[in-house]
Amino acid sequence: MAPKDVVVLGAGFAGLETAFQLAAQLTDDQVATTVVSDRDDFLFKPNTIYLPFGAAEAPLHIPLAKAMARRDIRHRIGTVTDVDVAGGRVHLTTGLPLHYDRLVIATGAAMAPEEVPGLAEHAYQVWTSGQLHRLGEALQWAVADARYGRQQRVVFLVPPGNKCAGPLYELAFMLDTWLRRRDVRHQVEVVFRTYEHTFVQAFGPRLHEVVTAEFADRDVDGRTGAVVTKVGESELLFEGGTEEYYDLLVAFPPYVASVRYEGLAADDRGFLTCDPASRALVDHPEIFAPGDAGDFPVKQAFLAFLQADAAAGAIAAEIRGTAPADAFSPTGMCVMEMFDKATFAQVPLIETGDPSAPVAVNQDQADAYRVGTSPIWRLGKKALGLYLPMRFRRGLPFHSGLGWRAMEVALRVGARTLAR
Ligand SMILES: Cc1cc2nc3c(=O)[nH]c(=O)nc-3n(C[C@H](O)[C@H](O)[C@H](O)COP(=O)(O)OP(=O)(O)OC[C@H]3O[C@@H](n4cnc5c(N)ncnc54)[C@H](O)[C@@H]3O)c2cc1C
């Protein structure tokens, strides 16, 4: 039998984890994998939050050529335009279409700042590394102005439609510590406004409590239920008519799918409709959509890995003719950086079907819900930032091998002793 052609679109967390899991689980006689992406490297996005505070960008880019060659994976650099499901082909902007037997769509998400009038023009946005560098320049000016005695108001803003607010909270906490270390915190008012019902809503009531207490300790003026409707040059308009001014606005815009695939079932933002367990598309079981490209309501790298593992497991089981592998069981995990300490949160999730609170803590696994704050969690974040790029550099999946098992044990011990 000829090997099955598996084409993976996207070389982010979900695409690479799927491709490397397939390489680890199947032989070359069973599968021929091609990864398509519009760049030749992997960007470790979670650590781009350090860029505004002077970190170097180069270590966050992992070149992929060697990793792909090690696992006999073909890597085609190109931009995907659409999928011909009837013909089993993917179209790119250049070159011939690619045939697939199984397709993995992991092209992730994009930002839609235009959904809020004025946001694109006036806010520093949190998404690309270029935008985070620009924010860094603005923060340097803010410090210089503060040293000249100018009082300023920095507003962090999460508008409706954003599906991964955590990094913006990290930036607010990091800014607070960074300004204190420069002795100018008293000159800068730090404000956080979010449309969410609770702070970092997807992570449940315990993280809300921790963030509320941290905001109070750090003199950050935080407010939930603040739905922005318009952004002006120096003012924000909220639902209900409230107006607030800002000197510097930092926003994490609404999410949409990075590619809209004609003819595939998707929600109003273009996120592909998946079977909750395998991440196969409900209308095309030969196509999978792990990670931000799919319709799971929370967009997170850790969740992208779990979805990729489920998708790769399902494809591998089918090719081998064995029983289906483990299903996607959503557990969110984050380590929220604050520079002086960090907050760890692990939350088993369940989808609710309620658009205003699309996930809740899964009470059947309540013991796995853990939140804790300690300077030691900063080491955990650093360890993840070293371990993951090392795995991808070698063409190995994140969730496997001795390294991951050791990390899992460390996380379990940490979650028991440094979180409750
Ligand atoms: C600043 C920031 C901080 C974050 N911090 C965390 C964190 O601490 N923890 C956490 O769990 N998550 C974090 N996230 C979220 C996390 O980065 C995403 O959830 C994760 O990247 C999703 O992985 P993905 O593989 O689905 O998509 P992506 O990582 O976005 O990968 C998509 C891939 O598809 C490619 N692509 C897109 N369109 C096309 C096209 N048309 N043709 C070809 N290729 C294409 C891209 O180049 C990329 O290779 C953060 C996000 C940001 C922006």
- In angstroms, the CA 142 to CA 415 distance is 37
Give pLDDT, residue 414: 81
Other CB atoms within 10 Å distance of the CB of residue 394: 13
Instruction: Give me the percent of the chain exceeding a pLDDT of 70.
Output: 100
Tell me if 10 sits within 8 A of 108, measured CB to CB: yes
Q: Average pLDDT, stretch 93-101?
A: 94
3-class DSSP state of 5: strand
Give pLDDT, residue 14: 98
Give pLDDT, residue 72: 96
Q: Which atom of ligand 1 is nearest to the CA of 107?
A: 34
- The per-residue pLDDT for range 238-292, each reduced to its tens digit, is 999 999 999 999 999 999 999 999 999 999 999 999 999 999 999 999 999 999 9
Half-sphere exposure of 167 (CA within 13 A, CB side): 23
Give pLDDT, residue 217: 98
φ/ψ region of 200 (left if φ > 0, alpha if ψ in -120 to 50, else beta) reads left
Tell me if 42 sits within 8 A of 11, measured CB to CB: yes
Q: Which atom of ligand 1 is nearest to the CA of 293?
A: 26
- Output the CA 145–ligand 1 centroid distance in Å: 34
- Band the pLDDT of 299: cuts 50, 70, 90: very high
Residues with CB under 6 A from ligand 1: 10-15, 36-39, 45-46, 48-49, 79-80, 106-108, 126-127, 164, 167, 258-259, 291-293, 299-302, 304, 334
Give pLDDT, residue 335: 95
* Type and span of the H or E element at 102: strand 102-105
In the predicted model, what is the mean pLDDT of the chain?
A: 95
Tell me if 247 sits within 8 A of 154, measured CB to CB: yes
Give pLDDT, residue 413: 82
Which residue do the tokens 């028991």 mark? Answer: 416
Query: No. of H helices and E strands in the chain?
Result: 9, 24
- Band the pLDDT of 57: cuts 50, 70, 90: very high
Q: Whose CA is nearest to atom 5 of ligand 1?
A: 46
Whether the pLDDT of residue 324 is over 80: the answer is no
Give the chain's domains with CATH numbers: 4-111+256-417 (3.50.50.100), 113-253 (3.50.50.60)
- In angstroms, the CA 248 to CA 142 distance is 8
What are the tokens at 253?
A: 């815009």
Cα dist from 273 to 78, 188, 280, 293, 411, whole Å = 25, 44, 8, 9, 32
Q: Whose CA is nearest to atom 4 of ligand 1?
A: 46
Instruction: Work out the burial of residue 240: count CB atoms within 10 Å of its CB; fewer than 13 is exposed, 13-18 middle, 19 or more buried.
Output: exposed
- Looking at this protein, which amino acid is placed at residue 324? P
- In angstroms, the CA 134 to CA 348 distance is 35
Q: Which atom of ligand 1 is nearest to the CA of 127?
A: 53
Which of these, 45, 43, 49, 109, lies nearest to 254 by C-alpha position? 109
- In angstroms, the CA 250 to CA 155 distance is 6
Alpha helices (H) in 219-350, listed in sequence order:
301-320
- Band the pLDDT of 1: cuts 50, 70, 90: confident
Q: Which atom of ligand 1 is nearest to the CA of 45?
A: 17
Whether the pLDDT of residue 408 is over 90: the answer is no
User: Positive or negative, the Cα torsion across 36, 21, 411, 402?
Assistant: negative
Whether the pLDDT of residue 120 is over 80: the answer is yes
- Band the pLDDT of 415: cuts 50, 70, 90: confident
Dump the DSSP string for 320-348: HT----PPP--EEEEEEE-SS-EEEEEEE
Give pLDDT, residue 400: 84
Q: Whose CA is nearest to atom 11 of ligand 1?
A: 301
Q: Average pLDDT, stretch 181-197?
A: 98
Q: Which range (198-207, 274-283, 298-307, 403-412) has the least confidence?
A: 403-412
Give pLDDT, residue 6: 98
* Type and span of the H or E element at 89: strand 89-92
- The per-residue pLDDT for range 9-27, each reduced to its tens digit, is 999 999 999 999 999 999 9
What is the length of the chain?
420
Q: Which atom of ligand 1 is nearest to the CA of 335?
A: 8
Q: Average pLDDT, stretch 84-95?
A: 94
Q: Whose CA is nearest to atom 27 of ligand 1?
A: 108
DSSP letter (8 states) at residue 50: G
Which residue do the tokens 């995907």 mark? Answer: 80
Bridge partners of 288? 104, 280
DSSP E strands, 195-263: 220-223, 228-231, 235-238, 243-245, 248-251, 255-257
- Mutate which of 83, 258, 343 for ligand 1? The one with the most ligand atoms within 8 Å of its CB, which is 258
Whether the pLDDT of residue 325 is over 80: the answer is no
Give pLDDT, residue 285: 96
Angle at 313 between CA 311 and CA 317, to 5 degrees: 120
What are the tokens at 104?
A: 């993995």
Q: Whose CA is nearest to atom 7 of ligand 1?
A: 46
Give pLDDT, residue 209: 97
Tell me if 95 sits within 8 A of 11, measured CB to CB: no
Sheet holding 98-99, edge to edge: 80-84, 89-92, 98-99
Q: Average pLDDT, stretch 226-248?
A: 98
Q: Whose CA is nearest to atom 31 of ligand 1?
A: 12
Give pLDDT, residue 37: 97
Q: Which atom of ligand 1 is nearest to the CA of 332?
A: 11
- The per-residue pLDDT for range 129-157, each reduced to its tens digit, is 999 999 999 999 999 999 999 999 999 99
- The per-residue pLDDT for range 347-405, each reduced to its tens digit, is 999 999 999 999 999 999 999 999 999 999 999 899 889 999 999 999 999 988 787 88
Cα dist from 153 to 121, 127, 134, 234, whole Å = 18, 22, 18, 10
